[in-house]
Amino acid sequence: MSPQNDLLQRGGTPPEPAAPYHLVMAQHVITTLVDDIDGTEAAETVTFALDGTSYEIDLSEKNAKELRKSLGHWTDRARTSGRPARIRKHLAAVGDSRNAEIRAWAHSTGHDVPARGRIPQRIVAAFDAAH
């Protein structure tokens, strides 16, 4: 007779299996904008459009002022058109890098995640719990 069966016959209860131990760590991600012209720390993302194409560029205060001054020669004489060009906000770019990080983590841990499109909430939740 096994020791566990002997214990049960005498009215005892088997020990509870040990609960899995999970180490949870907090993580704080800091995104720093870098000036696309000179590599210094950027102060803002400047958006503009030309010939129907929208652009955005991360610039320091000095370079943003210089860009606005350069464009001012033409914008001072131009008229605005109907609606402003649709331009992605900088936060979307941050979201894109987070999504890439989530996809890489999901693939490395065996989760099935699409290469494009929306990431299932269960995978985002698992990523957040792991980080």
pLDDT digits (tens, 9 = 90+) for 21-67: 667 777 778 888 899 999 999 999 999 888 888 899 999 999 999 99
CA distance 112 to 131: 18
Q: Where in the chain is the domain with CATH 3.30.60.230?
A: 29-87
Number of neighbours of residue 60 by Cβ within 10 angstroms = 20
The partner residues of 59 in beta bridges, in order of sequence, read: 44
Task: Assign a CATH topology to domain 88-131.
Answer: Dihydrolipoamide Transferase (4.10.320)
Read off the tokens for 52: 């129907």
CATH number for the domain running over 29-87: 3.30.60.230
**Phi-psi category of residue 42: left, alpha or beta, with phi > 0 → left and psi -120 to 50 → alpha:** beta
What pLDDT score does 60 carry? 94
Where residue 3 falls among pLDDT bands split at 50, 70, 90?
low
CA distance 9 to 41: 73
Q: Where in the chain is the domain with CATH 4.10.320.10?
A: 88-131
The structure tokens 């955005």 sit at 56
Q: According to DSSP H, which parts of the chain are helical?
A: 3-9, 61-75, 90-108, 121-130
Averaged over 93-111, what is the pLDDT?
Answer: 82
Does pLDDT of 7 surpass 80? no
Averaged over 92-104, what is the pLDDT?
Answer: 76
Does pLDDT of 83 surpass 60? yes
